[in-house]
Chains A and B, each alone.
Chain A
Amino acid sequence: AQTVTQSQPEMSVQEAETVTLSCTYDTSENNYYLFWYKQPPSRQMILVIRQEAYKQQNATENRFSVNFQKAAKSFSLKISDSQLGDTAMYFCAFMKFRGAQKLVFGQGTRLTINP
């Protein structure tokens, strides 16, 4: 079975700073997908960024980028020039490439951006 671990329950940074959220996972699969989701107080989960394990290039989406280390089974999220609207819970998630289509989530990191 796959597991996802987020070792930072809470983080806090000042607006405009850069912050990195950690995620490690365990799987015997060779191909899979990794995701970062954001959950603001409204509870609605929003996809931030996705990485396909068969791609070596790290995914980027505007101020959000990942550092994907397949051998180390590490998938961290970097938020540059953080904004107050980035305040939310962030979840790392795993999905198999084939078979069960469910997302396996980590426990989440509560990120607070301070003015």
Chain B
Amino acid sequence: GAGVSQSPSNKVTEKGKDVELRCDPISGHTALYWYRQSLGQGLEFLIYFQGNSAPDKSGLPSDRFSAERTGGSVSTLTIQRTQQEDSAVYLCASSLSTGGLAEQYFGPGTRLTVT
């Protein structure tokens, strides 16, 4: 079946502009995660959605970052007033349920470059 998809695959934007990154999880997966991978770094957790529960936003680095998940499926990560330090690969993952036994399936990521 189809895996996690993300769009766009690459995005170049000017400093100060807003950007939206999209994630389509695997159908039926109730949990959705966003991570950020800066150049030469490991992945950093941003936000987590599980069903109808309030999202875990503990990883969002500033109030310029927000995310929503509509209808329990597609998610959009929005970065307002982008800064150069926001340049990174943004990865989305989904899982059938929660916990360490529920494998997180990752998408190919969106590479964001802020000029």
Contact = CB atoms under 8 A, between A and B. Distances in A.
A47 B104 contact: yes
A1 to B, nearest CB: 11
A64 interface: no
Contacts of B43: 45, 91, 93, 103, 105
Contacts of A101: 31, 33, 48, 50, 56, 98-99
Contact of A97 (B40, B100, B109): B100
Contacts of B33: 101-103
Interface in B86-115: 89, 91, 93, 98-101, 103-104, 106-109, 111
A106 B42 CA distance: 6
A47 B43 CA distance: 14
Interface residues of A, number: 26
A35 B100 CA distance: 9
A95 B98 CA distance: 11
Contact of B91 (A35, A45, A107): A45
Contacts of A4: 42
Contacts of B91: 43, 45
B1 to A, nearest CB: 15
Interface in B23-47: 31, 33, 35, 40-45
Interface of B: 31, 33, 35, 40-45, 48, 50, 56, 58-59, 89, 91, 93, 98-101, 103-104, 106-109, 111
10 contacts: A6-B42, A35-B100, A44-B108, A44-B109, A47-B104, A97-B100, A102-B45, A102-B56, A102-B59, A107-B41
